[in-house]
Amino acid sequence: MRVRFGELSATEAHEKERVCAAARQAWGFVRTGDDDHACRLIGAIDPRLALSVQRDDEQRVPLVELSAFEASAWPLAELLLAQLPLDLDCTSSLGRSAVSLERALSEVRASHQVELERASLRAGFGRGHLLEITLGVPGGSGGENEQNAAENLVRAVLSDRWFETWVGAVHVTASPRGGSLRVLDPRAPRTSLQLRELFDTVAAATRGVLHGLPSALSGTASRPGLTPGAPVDTADVAREDWTLLEIEPLADVRGVRKDDLVLASTCTPELLRCYLDGSPCASRRFSRSGEQFVFVSYVDDERTMQSRVARRTLIENALAECVADFGAVIGVGLGVRTSYVDLGLANLETGLPRLVAKLKDVGAPPRTFIQFFDSELADEWLSIWPDSRLTEG
């Protein structure tokens, strides 16, 4: 369901108002202290959402936390939280905030009957700058209950939004119950960390990724040509940090979310691979300066490949000029029937209207859309021309 970008259809607008009304009803139950009813109402709006209302004796006002179990539900959660009445005396949070390790351990102990206090920790990056975290549980079984407990523990210690952005998977493995002597040599390399180092380890790892990213996006001027079958100077590609990728399109292709992509040239290959793999994708993992990544897609009716490339180059150059002061073209692609131009934008609210206006100026094809790399915005899109729809949802 689209809630943030683009002109909504009558059906979409009606559905948006329906869920907003249901949220206002839920907040009314929070006002009267009927928290269970409020939580059920939010869950009925969308099963991907979870509402928590805490009324501890130490708190003057209740703490309202609205979380999403899937990244694509965060815009909806944000919309519902925005319906909170201004005069409702509470503290609100989009997603659960980080809690102490002691509290997280206590919650897991109560909900899963699993003891993780003595678990060891290993962490490393996989594809797409996503962290893979493994907890070694002394005497554990590695079963589903332990797996769920470990994931809930890591999520609680890191916070919902940080977990969704940076963690690709949490695993558990059985480890010895203990009793063996430790080598007391501070210079000896450690194969695992202690659980209390979880937060600091993830914080240091994410800072390292961001510091390793380029300080500015590469622009169109340094991109090698992209024509199927044409020779490419590989030295030029390496020197300018652009990568050519050949992709096997999906069997049932519609040109939605790059599912018909065949050939691409990009200066952010990890971002593109992450998106195409269907892994959790977040612009924050690939931008040192806070850009957000989008792509323009259009169904191409040109009859020859030469004409397709010429049209895409014209659109690409126009968009590069349009965003020169607040972004850059970071990739292009050719699909079975669809062509693509990828961009990084420093500000979506100002950048998207300018892209729409420029695409109209250059006479973009009827089925031209702006889509988003972020998993959080997977359901969002903008059409360039009236009455043209990317999806029916």
Q: Which residue has the higher pLDDT, 207 or 175?
A: 207
Give which of 121, 113, 118 is closest to 158, Cα–Cα.
121
**Is residue 105 domain-resident?**
yes
Can you read off the two tokens belonging to residue 297? 């897609």
Q: Which residue has the higher pLDDT, 176 or 2?
A: 2
Predicted local confidence at residue 236, as pLDDT? 36
Give which of 324, 374, 326, 319 is closest to 347, Cα–Cα.
326
Q: Which domain holds residue 282?
A: 220-383
How would you classify residue 43: left for phi > 0, otherwise alpha for psi between -120 and 50, otherwise beta? alpha
Residue 216 has pLDDT above 90, yes or no: no
**Is residue 184 domain-resident?**
no
Least confident stretch, 173-182, 304-313, 336-345: 173-182
Quick one: 114 and 201 in the same domain?
A: yes
Predicted local confidence at residue 232, as pLDDT? 38
pLDDT in tens, 240-277: 678 999 988 766 667 788 999 999 999 999 999 999 99
Residue 190 has pLDDT above 60, yes or no: no
> What are the residues whose beta carbons fall under 8 Å from the beta carbon of 117, sequence distance 6 or more?
105, 195
Residue 179 has pLDDT above 50, yes or no: no
Quick one: 359 and 225 in the same domain?
A: yes
Burial of 38-56, coded b for 16+ CB within 10 Å and e otherwise, reads bbebbeebbebbbbebeee
The mean pLDDT value for 276-283 works out to 94
Predicted local confidence at residue 215, as pLDDT? 77
Q: How many domains does the chain have?
A: 3
**Position 234 confidence tier, pLDDT thresholds 50, 70, 90:** very low
Tell which of 47, 69, 94 closes a domain. 94
Per-residue CA distances from 349 to 14, 346, 352, 354 (Å): 24, 9, 6, 9
Residue with tokens 């059906």: 11
Residue 63 has pLDDT above 50, yes or no: yes
Predicted local confidence at residue 87, as pLDDT? 93
What mean pLDDT value characterizes the chain? 88
Could you give the CA distance from residue 192 to residue 184 in angstroms, rounded to a whole number? 15
Provide the CB-side half-sphere exposure for 346 (13 A, CA).
Answer: 11
Give me the helix-helix angle, 74-81 and 10-32, nearest 10°.
60
How many CB atoms are located within 10 Å of the residue 183 CB? 7
Per-residue CA distances from 251 to 259, 336, 376, 391 (Å): 9, 11, 25, 18
Q: C-alpha 332: how far from its chain's center?
A: 21
> What are the residues whose beta carbons fall under 8 Å from the beta carbon of 199, sequence distance 6 or more?
98, 101, 157, 158
Quick one: 132 and 252 in the same domain?
A: no
Quick one: 225 and 352 in the same domain?
A: yes
**Position 65 confidence tier, pLDDT thresholds 50, 70, 90:** very high
Quick one: 46 and 107 in the same domain?
A: no
Predicted local confidence at residue 184, as pLDDT? 46
Quick one: 88 and 131 in the same domain?
A: no
Tell which of 94, 111, 139 closes a domain. 94
**Is residue 182 domain-resident?**
no
Report which listed range, 5-14, 211-220, 243-252, 355-364, is most confident: 355-364
Tell which of 63, 94, 125 closes a domain. 94
Least confident stretch, 69-73, 121-125, 168-172, 218-222: 218-222
**Is residue 330 domain-resident?**
yes
How many CB atoms are located within 10 Å of the residue 92 CB? 16
Answer whether 51's CB lies under 8 Å from 66's CB.
yes
Residue 332 has pLDDT above 60, yes or no: yes
The mean pLDDT value for 28-54 works out to 95
The mean pLDDT value for 275-301 works out to 94
pLDDT in tens, 354-382: 999 999 999 999 999 999 999 999 999 99
**Is residue 5 domain-resident?**
no
Quick one: 70 and 116 in the same domain?
A: no
Written as one letter, the residue type at 19 is V
Answer whether 61's CB lies under 8 Å from 79's CB.
no
Q: What angle do CA 288, 292, 293 make, to 5 degrees?
A: 110
Could you give the CA distance from residue 300 to residue 217 in angstroms, rounded to a whole number? 27
Residue with tokens 């002394």: 138
**Position 165 confidence tier, pLDDT thresholds 50, 70, 90:** very high
The mean pLDDT value for 7-23 works out to 94
Quick one: 269 and 137 in the same domain?
A: no
Predicted local confidence at residue 182, as pLDDT? 47
Quick one: 278 and 377 in the same domain?
A: yes
The mean pLDDT value for 161-189 works out to 74
Quick one: 200 and 332 in the same domain?
A: no
Predicted local confidence at residue 365, as pLDDT? 95
**Is residue 3 domain-resident?**
no
Quick one: 54 and 114 in the same domain?
A: no
Quick one: 267 and 366 in the same domain?
A: yes
Strand partners for 123: 133
Answer whether 280's CB lies under 8 Å from 361's CB.
no
Predicted local confidence at residue 364, as pLDDT? 96
**Is residue 185 domain-resident?**
no
Query: Does this model's pTM top 0.85?
Result: yes
**Position 227 confidence tier, pLDDT thresholds 50, 70, 90:** low
Per-residue CA distances from 85 to 46, 91, 279, 348 (Å): 21, 12, 36, 27
